[in-house]
Amino acid sequence: NTMIIQVDTPQFDRDIERAATLLKKGENVAFPTETVYGLGGNAFDEQAILGIYEAKGRPSDNPLIVHISNKKMLEDLAIEIQPYVWHLIEAFWPGPLTVVLKKKQAVSSRVTGGLDTVAVRMPNHPVALKLIELAGVPVAAPSANLSGRPSPTKAAYVIEDLTGRVACIVAGEACEIGLESTVLDVTGENPVILRPGSVTQEQIESVVGSCEVDPALRDFSSEFAPKSPGMKYKHYAPEAQVTVYRGDGTQIIQMLETKCLDAISNGYRIGLMIFEADDLVLRNLSKDWPENWQAHVEICLEGNPSDLSEFARKLFGDMRYLDGKGCQSIYIHGVEETHLGRAIMNRLEKASEGRVFKI
Ligand code: TXA
Ligand code: MG
């Protein structure tokens, strides 16, 4: 039996205290953040952590991010915090930056997946901050989706995935950023990005001078086709098969047109995630397509390539939407790997299991 709390109600203050009490007692509570919804548990309570893995159906060797409501709490969790880390925190907290540090003994190895480091962030969201503060403990929280499904960017998706599996869901607005936080290893002399997010390498460099990217993250700039699709990338995806095209816009549209015509003539459904300018061109081309084309082609718009924040915000929700529409394939107009584009391409690579093509 899952308690669902709405944020914009007169009784919210009382409800959020109940949610915090549940957290304190070792229950699991899902809540909104600025990135994606999180599924929280008291970071100092082993049972609560086990509950998270169980609710998500996630293997328990995958470490969790611990969420805090003020910067001082970092010192309850981590040791050997170098001066440059405080500069980063000053610049980006509260916000979508997670720092990985040497853990304190008190932090359970269940939270850290057996590692001697702990990942910590202070989310930039009033509901998340209030919940953590009222609970009075750091809150370990992965994204609040069932394992393997796209991260939830709206309360409806959390309710869909986790009703009956957790004690409480705090149902707020859609997430402002839509992609998970940047995960940054700050145990060394220079920070290293382990997972790209909306705090970009360029922004981090502007604060600390130098920032590397984990070599395990793929660099698309020199690739023309995936080396081994599906081999080294964990499934993290919609039901539909995802394919990403990058490169020349005109050729991408030609490719998309052939995919549309194939779906129309063979009677199946596909989804497109494209920019507004692509849509204009395609709709013009569609004048020559069979009249019923819209029964076979679902289009999700991602805004415009000069501002990728809309693409980031909509990406996961669009995948769920296109799945819901029964699309058997999804074709996506990929982007350059700079700034926010690096995080977007990282998620698209996983969702497509490496089916990223440069044309
Ligand atoms: O935006 C976010 O980060 C969201 C919201 C809820 O805060 N949370 C999130 O959690 O995305 P999750 O569990 O889905 O992803 C955690 C990521 C994983 O890639 C994990 O491998 C990495 O953080 N991570 C956690 N602890 C780590 C550690 N000690 N060392 C290296 N990576 C770690
Ligand atoms: Mg996740």
Q: Which CATH class is domain 3-213?
A: alpha beta
Whether residue 307 contacts residue 314, with contact meaning beta carbons closer than 8 Å, is answered with no
Q: What is the pLDDT of residues 214-244, one digit of tens each?
A: 988 876 654 544 444 443 444 556 789 999 9
Distance 82 CA to ligand 1 centre (A): 21
Q: What is the pLDDT of residues 260-303, one digit of tens each?
A: 999 999 999 999 999 999 999 999 999 999 999 999 999 999 99
Distance 200 CA to ligand 2 centre (A): 19
Distance 5 CA to ligand 2 centre (A): 22
Domain ranges of the chain: 3-213, 241-358
The pTM for the full model equals 0.95
Could you give the angle at the alpha carbon of 116 between the alpha carbons of 115 and 118, nearest 5°? 85
- Using the atom order of ligand 1, give the atom closest to the CA of residue 67: 7
What ipTM was reported for this prediction? 0.99
Largest Cα–Cα distance in the chain? 67
Residue with CA nearest ligand 1 atom 15: 142
Residue with CA nearest ligand 1 atom 7: 38
pLDDT top residue among 147 and 219 = 147
State the SS3 of 31-50: ECCCCCCEEEEECCCHHHHH
- Using the atom order of ligand 1, give the atom closest to the CA of residue 115: 29
Position 59 scores a pLDDT of 79
Residue 37's pLDDT band, with cuts at 50, 70 and 90, is: very high
In this structure, whether the domain defined by 241-358 belongs to CATH 1.10.10.10 is answered with no
Give me the DSSP letters along 190-250.
S-EEEE--SS-HHHHHHHHS--EE-TTSPP-TT-SS-SSTTTS------SSEEEEEES-HH
Q: What is the pLDDT of residues 70-124, one digit of tens each?
A: 999 999 999 999 999 999 999 999 999 999 999 999 998 999 999 999 999 999 9
Identity of residue 328? Q
Distance 11 CA to ligand 2 centre (A): 31
CA dihedral 318, 321, 326, 329 (to 10 degrees): 10
